[in-house]
Amino acid sequence: MASTIVDEDFADRLVTTARTAAGDSLRSLTYFTRSNFEQLYLREDLQRDADLDSFIGHEWRGFKNTTNAYRGTELGEYKYTIRVFENGFLVRVTSDRDGVFLTTDGATIRDFNSYAKAIKEVLNEKTGRDD
């Protein structure tokens, strides 16, 4: 896969990690920063017609709003976001610099935890972080 905003090895690790975690239920995987994004994976049976510009803007603002709104509450540290739709789910895993959202078919809370943990590990490898 030829990637333009991340190096090819990192892009391949993200896709492999998401495919391993979600299996055939993975619909898509998009990497994003504050200013750019790239869809790294789209399942064959889906059309490339999503308005990713709008998705990214919303997901980045949503991450910032969520982390600010819940900072210091009894709920603890923000981990990731799940959005539930008629035809699937969107999981957003984000750091201060970048993030990933993946879409899936059916899944359980346990599945979401494993997706988020796996993606967070790859994002942290890239930045050298340990959280």
In this structure, which topology does domain 8-127 adopt according to CATH? Beta-Lactamase (3.30.450)
Q: 30 near 18, Cβ under 8 Å?
A: no
Position 8 scores a pLDDT of 92
Written as tens digits, the pLDDT of the chain (131 aa) is 555 788 999 999 999 999 999 999 999 999 988 888 899 999 999 887 766 777 777 776 677 777 778 888 898 888 888 888 888 898 988 887 888 989 999 777 788 888 889 988 988 887 676 65
Kind of pairing, strands 81-85 and 98-104? unpaired
Q: What does the domain layout of the chain look like in residue ranges?
A: 8-127
Q: How far apart are the C-alpha atoms of 49 and 68, rounded to whole Å?
A: 32
